[in-house]
Structure 1
Amino acid sequence: MPSDTAGSWTPVALSADLPPATVIPAWTPLGAIALWRSQSGRASASSDRCPHRGMGLSHGFVRGEALSCIYHGWSYSPAGGCIRIPAHPDLVPPETIRVAVQQVAESDGIVWIAVGEPAMPPPRLDNLAPIRSLTLDADVAAIEAAAGEKADADGLIRVADCPWVRLLPAEQIGCTLIHLLVEQGRSVADRITASRIAEAVRRRAETRQKDMA
């Protein structure tokens, strides 16, 4: 992924897959996160572990501008501080109760998470429209071989026999998440074709990965 000496950006989801007042699990090189969007539309990334009893916050729920744990309802702000403990409604939670958070940026329909402190914003994916995300049981090298092209400086892999299709990978533990994009202005039929192409790349990449094991 695009990086500099201070940090890098990981594309973790499509903006369309994170509507207001929802939380989903995601992953970065720093570990599992709860990716959530407040009622007002702000995207945030919190460590996927409630400090109370260790429950995954990605199983929780969003109310207003806070993420709440499904277990006992402890609520956290986008900055990570605990702001409410339902069992003690009159208590102001101490500042020491908090979850780790990571910087979030959105551009061109992609949600990016910072790893470290990147000096530059995420790359612009001008003239590209995101279609869907899918997980491959293959590494980036196998995906590049299956697509017939190497990733460019922005991390995008062009599909050699269909150059208007791009794949944006994000390596995870034992698999790779890829976001499928097509050039702006493509028809519905082209988008369906692109999805089928991505599935074909998936099959080739996974077969190659198994052959290399």
Structure 2
Amino acid sequence: MSAHIRVLVVDDHPIYRKGLLAALAGEPDVEVAGEAASAEEALQMLGVLEGIGVVLMDLNMPGVGGLAAIGAVEREHPGVRVLVLTMTGGDASVDAALRAGAAGYLVKGANQERIVSAIRSVAAGEMVLGAEVAGHLSRTLRRMPVAAGAFGELSAREREVLELLARGLDNALIARTLFLSEKTVRNNASAIFAKLGAGSRARAVALARDAGFGTNNKGDGPG
């Protein structure tokens, strides 16, 4: 199988970076197209390298730093997905990275299999969160009033599910975040689509985002 996911690895710690390169080298569908030691270097490389699908990026780097780089990638290279791989899964870091446009967030310590799986998932357009991060998102959701007044016909649980749908999470990740079974999530999603008169998931998400779901108007959660 020829490589078809081109990855740029960005981390200022050379030993860890080299370890990532070695871990990815044996994957038949993943090609490391380049490596960078800073956000500035990564952005320069993205302007030169072709076909990059995923940037695997640390947040805590000297200079511009990972958060600013995520925003720059989102603006300047909209087809490129950023997967954060960093030391901390603290609430503020998670919120800031997701608001900036990160497609995934893992904490260093994730094993090779998890990292490779996450690269494949974000390359396919999915959002990926590590277990610690999913727990944070669940806590944020519980304490955040979601789009108050919108879609009053939905139950509280359906509003939670709709919020996560609008954030781009798939059924499996919604289930993990809300501690539900995937079947329950599917049932809630079907009820949401019916109540909103939405013929598809994409239409329901569009309606939800228009109503303010998927963002945090108070600025204290991921967007």
User: Normalising by the residue count of structure 1, what TM-score does the alignment of the two structures yield?
Assistant: 0.28
Greater gyration radius: 1
TM-score by length of 2: 0.28
Higher helix content, 1 or 2: 2
Larger RCO, structures 1/2 (Cα 8 Å, 6+ apart)? 1
